[in-house]
């Protein structure tokens, strides 16, 4: 249904999962935010106030006088707007949902592994009432 079969590179070693960035300059901060925006998993943002926010960074506005990140928090349904200037660190704490999910990686799997994966996904969809 989508045209993005080869979108992820499937390379586990290149994933940012588990890393934490403590930017030392505005350009490093911008770089870390871009990585968080591209990341297919949740991150934890620590603010200069000491607050920690865990969620999915789905947008960022770099232009204008007050650049900000938009995040869907893991635990509440709203959107959080976070000014770049309020960010102290960004940690890639959530599972990288794109890693290892390429078409090539799937084809390269052993038949038994593929079967197990298919069963696991089907069970999950059934439990949600989607099958």
Partner 1 sequence: MAVPVSQMLTVTKYVLMQRLKGVARYPLVLMLEPLFRCNLACAGCGKIQYPDHVLDKRLTPEQCWAAAEECGAPIVSIPGGEPLIHPEIAKIVEGLVAQQRYVYLCTNAILLERKLDEYKPSKFLTFSIHMDGLRDEHDLAVCRDGVYDVAVKAIKAALKRGHRVTTNTTLFDDANPERVRKFFDEMMALGVEGMMISPGYSYQKAPDQQHFLKRARTRELFTRILSKPKAGWQFNQSPLFLDFLMGRREYHCTPWGNPTYNVFGWQKPCYLLQEGYAKTFRELMETTAWDEYGSTKNEKCADCMVHCGYEASAVQDTFGTVSGFSRTVKLTLLPTSR
Which string of DSSP letters, residue by residue, matches the chain?
Answer: --S-TT-S---GGG--TT-EE--SSHHHHHHHHHHHHH-SS-EEEEETTS-EEEEEEEEEE-SSSS-EEEEEESSSSS-EEEEGGGEEEEE--S--TTTT-SHHHHHHS-HHHHHHHHHHHHHHHHHTT--
Q: Interface with partner 1 includes 34 (CB under 8 A)?
A: no
Q: Residue 15: which of partner 1, ligand SF4, none does it interact with, CB under 5 to 8 A by kind?
A: none
By C-beta, is 26 or 126 nearer to partner 1?
126
Q: Interface with partner 1 includes 67 (CB under 8 A)?
A: no
Q: Interface with ligand SF4 includes 128 (CB under 6 A)?
A: no
Q: Identify residues 1-40 at the interface with ligand SF4 (CB under 6 A).
A: 1-2
Binding site for partner 1 (CB under 8 A): 1-10, 37, 40-42, 55-56, 58-61, 70, 72, 74-75, 94-95, 97-98, 101-103, 105-107, 114, 117-118, 121-122, 125, 130-131
């Amino acid at each position: 249904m989508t045209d993005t079969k080869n979108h992820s590179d499937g390379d586990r070693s290149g994933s940012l999962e588990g890393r934490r960035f403590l930017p030392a300059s505005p350009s490093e901060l911008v770089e870390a935010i871009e990585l968080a925006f591209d990341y297919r998993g949740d991150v934890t943002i620590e603010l200069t106030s000491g607050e920690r926010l865990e969620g999915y960074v789905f947008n960022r506005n770099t232009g204008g006088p007050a650049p900000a990140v938009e995040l869907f928090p893991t635990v509440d349904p709203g959107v959080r707007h976070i000014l770049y200037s309020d960010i102290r660190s960004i940690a890639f704490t959530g599972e990288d949902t794109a890693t290892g999910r390429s078409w090539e990686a799937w084809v390269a799997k052993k038949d038994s592994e593929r079967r197990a994966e298919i069963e696991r996904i089907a069970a999950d969809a059934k439990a949600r009432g989607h099958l």
